Structure formats: C-alpha cells, structure tokens
A and B are shown apart, each in its own frame.
Chain A
C-alpha cells in the first residue's frame, strides 16, 4: 500500500499527468462531436437502401437502434482516452530510466515485482480517473445530444450502464498494457512515439486490412480483428451484440490477455534486468 501511495505521489509531484489531461480534453470533445455527427447520419440512413447487402443492412439497422446510438455516445472519448492512459502508464515506467530514479526506487524496494505491481495499481487508478472525468462529461452532455437527435436519454437502459462499466475496464486494462510496454521500451521518447504510432496506425491499418480482405477470405478472418487491441476495446463497449462481430466478452478476454501478458512480461524483465 505504501508503494502504491508512493507511485501516486510520484505522478502527482510532476506536471506530466495534467499536461496529458489537457491534451485528452480536446480529443474527447472531438470524438464526441464526431460521434454526434455519425449518429445523426446513421439515424438518417435507410437500411433497405439499395447497394447494401443483407449483412450490412442488418448491421446498420442494429447500430441505429436507440440503445446502441446512446452507448456509443456515452462512451465517447475512449479511442484517444485510452491512448493517453497508455502513454501515461508507459511514462510511469520510462521516467525511472529517463530521470535515473530507478536506482533509488529499487534501493528502497529490492523486491522489484512489488514495484511493478505498485506501478500497475497506480496506473490503473490514473486510468480510472480519466474514465471518470470523461464519463461525467458524457453524462452531462450526451442527454442533450440524444434529445437533439430525438432518441431519448436512454439512461434507464442497463446496456448503457454496462457499456460505461466495461469502458472503465478498458481504461484499466490499457493502463496495464502501458506499464508493460514501458518496461519493454525503456526509452521515454521511444515508448511515447512507438506506442502512439502503433496505436493509431495499427488501428487504421488493421481496420483497412480487415475491411479489404474479409470479403475475399471469409467471415472467420473478419472475426480475427478482435485480436487488434484497439478494436478489441471498442468491441467491448458496444451496446448490444452487433451482427457480424464476435461477442463482446471476446473483446474483454483479448484485452485482459494482452494486459496479463504485458504485466507478466514486464515484471519478469524488471526482475532480471541489471540497474546501471
């Protein structure tokens, strides 16, 4: 417990967290606007429009259900929010090497796995704070948007609350991924650049590749896209089961799998590494 408090104190006594918070805020606002626009477009779309095949028509119909429009809006900001949490969590680790504080940290606590666990816990707390802030903002603003779209607030729907809850899990898991990544890529700048590039390019690239190849290779291939972490976390927070997609729990399982792998590998490497 002392160690978690110390890690939180480390975060609080530097500027990084609020600088990242300031970056996250406009990105959240941007995604909310984009989601508003796309919801509005979706609601205006006719599923029976010619040119859509049966699957696509079904997907459009389900996505346009009020509850799914609402969950999508209430979880606005996840795409960039978890990226910011990922980077912050990585920096929690890379800071120790960048500023050469690892020596002191491990002198105080030679049981290195305890240090990694404390960093995981502190990063998860940080991730949940980001989740809480964006969720409160969404809860304040989204009802206005939903009214404007003539959809109704939808806050009586359990599916909405479940999505918000799973969104919290996503933020926590991305924090764990960040700590693991920070151990693997010790360089501060290297970790920041690599993670944001891989996250954004990986997301766009994977989405494109799956969109192009799935019609040729088959639906089973399309289901593999859940293995791409950002796609997995988006699947997790879908309101209801979406046709043509793996079930939501698969997204959670995939992300938890990556988090366990990253956390475990990070701990193992930290234990073995010489601190010089």
Chain B
C-alpha cells in the first residue's frame, strides 16, 4: 500500500444501543499527511465511532476503511494502524516493557521494537517498573508507545492529552505534527479546543451522533463570520456605538472600557468611526476561535443523552 492511499473513509457508520442512536449515519474522510481533530460534546459518539472503525464494536450499519480495507481485513493491522483508546490499559502487575513485548510477540514484531517504542516516548527509565506504579501521564505514554510499535501509517487517538502535563501536551503536539509531516494519517479526538486549534489541520465535528461540519480548520473558522468580533477603544464610546448601531452591528461594552463589535470587520468599524468623526485608540479584528465556533455549532445538540 502506498503512502498516499491510507485515507480513512467512514461511510454511513451507525450504532444503535437500545433506543439510543449513539452514532447516526456518520460519514467523513480523513486525509493523510494532516492532523484531523475529531470533536464533539460528551456523549456525541466519538469513542463509539473510533471503536467501530477499529472493529472493536460491531456497527449497526455502515463501514470504515483504511486505504480501502476494513480494519479486520488488514494483514497484521498494527503495522498499518496504531490506536490509543480510552478504557484501554495494561495489566497492573506487568512491567511496561513486558506489556509491549507481549504485543510484539502476538504481532510477530521483533523484540527490539518494544525497547525502541519505549525510548521514543521517554519511558526507558521506567521500563521494568510495574504498570500500577505508573503515573497517569506515563500510562498515556505507554499507550502511545504501543500504538507506535508497528510503525503504522495511520494513528488514531482518543483523548490522548488526558493526564498529560503542559510539557507532555507540547511533546504530544510535536509528535503528532511530526508524524503527519511524514505523510501519516492522524485522527485525534479531544475536548481541549485551544490545543486542537494549534494542532489540527482539519476538523470533523459531530454532535448527537451526527456530522455537524468537516473541513480544514481555517475554512470552518472562516465560515462563521457571524462570530468574528472587533475590539475597539475610543474616548467617545456613545457616539461610536450610535454610528455602529445604524449599520446593524451589535456593540457591547467591556469592563476595561473597550467595546466589542459583532457583525462588522475591522475596516468597516474604522470607516464608520472616521465618518462619524470619532477618535479611535485601538482597533483589533478578533477572529472567532475554535471554541466559539464549536459551541455555536453544537449548541442545542450538546448534552448527555
């Protein structure tokens, strides 16, 4: 299989639990060479989707393929796809290195792969320590080491930043970006939207089991012009507010005396001020961030089902 072909295609994936549609006719594509953020409120169906993609949960309908092949049909799958999932762990009484060796043994990988993977996530000093003595961040790193064992072209991570310290989060961001830069396909679910904005090239946003939006981060942010704001400071706030209100803009006063204007861009605000003869001390266009867009897109659909 060639590098470029390891696209993930999710097509009409559906999972019903009793009456709940945990995942509802979900289709999206994840491209190689990019980091794709998989976002959704709690209970949106992210974990269920990822588990169905990996053959752990039986879909009610639909398929997911990696370079055109279902996970279960891949030859030695961990050489193609590495995964770090929630509710996945190691035997408490087994050492980290032995945990990886068991995987190597089952997958027919050489034993050194375990040592290399452990070194790659910086766990070599704790290699022989039992898993129950690992901190949350060390456990998370061991999970990543396990995912990297087979040098896979595709990586799938469910909330990998859970329990990592700021240094660890930065390490993870750099690692995932480097992996994507090597042409690999990286799909990451996360609730840390600030982190995602720094990390992801593309996003797939779901809520209540359904696709809300997918595309490059810039496009998704740009599409929400209604959310972009302009911050402006003036000694004549009343005059400016009056001038802007004529243009159907919403103006709100901030505690520090500045105003935020919604519905116009910075140039339009500056022009309005100029025409009204209002003096400006500050004029900053603030684009909506991922968090605002996310909350707007999933409003009303959020909530535990």
Chain A positions near chain B (C-beta within 8 angstroms): 2-3, 5-6, 9-10, 13-16, 95, 99-101, 103-111, 272, 274-276
Contacts and interface: CB of A to CB of B under 8 A. Distances in A.
Given A100-B87, A107-B77, A272-B58, 7 more contacts: A2-B107, A3-B106, A14-B93, A14-B94, A110-B71, A110-B77, A276-B87
Interface string B274-303: 000000000000000000000000000000
B51 A275 contact: yes
Interface stretch (B97-105, B224-232, B241-249, B261-269): B97-105
B56 A103 contact: yes
A196 B95 CA distance: 29
A273 to B, nearest CB: 9
B85 interface: yes
A108 B87 CA distance: 16
B56 A106 contact: yes
A105 B89 CA distance: 11
Given A99-B91, A108-B77, A276-B87, A9 B105 contact: yes
Contacts of A95: 91
B106 A6 contact: yes
Interface of B: 47, 51, 54-58, 71-72, 74, 77-78, 83, 85, 87-95, 98, 101-103, 105-108, 146
Contacts of A109: 106-107
A96 B105 CA distance: 17
Q: Which of B74, B85, B95 has the most CB of A within 10 A?
A: B85
A6 B89 CA distance: 17
A6 B54 contact: no
A107 B78 contact: yes
B57 A275 contact: yes
B107 A108 contact: yes
A99 B106 contact: no
Contact of B72 (A9, A10, A110, A276): A110
B57 A274 contact: yes
Nearest to A3: B106
A102 to B, nearest CB: 8
The binding surface of chain A is classed by DSSP as helix
A199 B95 CA distance: 33
Contacts of B98: 9, 13
A101 B58 contact: no
A106 B56 CA distance: 7
27 contacts: A2-B107, A5-B105, A6-B106, A9-B98, A9-B101, A9-B102, A9-B105, A13-B91, A13-B98, A14-B91, A14-B93, A15-B93, A99-B90, A99-B92, A104-B90, A104-B146, A107-B56, A107-B77, A108-B77, A110-B71, A110-B72, A272-B58, A274-B56, A276-B47, A276-B56, A276-B57, A276-B87
A99 B78 contact: no
B91 A10 contact: yes
Nearest to B105: A6
Contacts of A111: 72
A10 B146 CA distance: 15
Nearest to A96: B91
B108 A101 contact: no
Contacts of B88: 100-101, 103-104
Given A14-B91, A15-B93, A275-B51, A105 B56 contact: no
Given A9-B105, A275-B51, A107 B93 contact: no
A105 B51 contact: no
Contacts of A3: 106
A100 B77 contact: no
Contacts of B83: 107
A14 B95 CA distance: 9
Nearest to B108: A2
Contacts of A274: 51, 56-58
A10 B104 CA distance: 12
A105 B87 contact: no
Contacts of A275: 51, 56-57
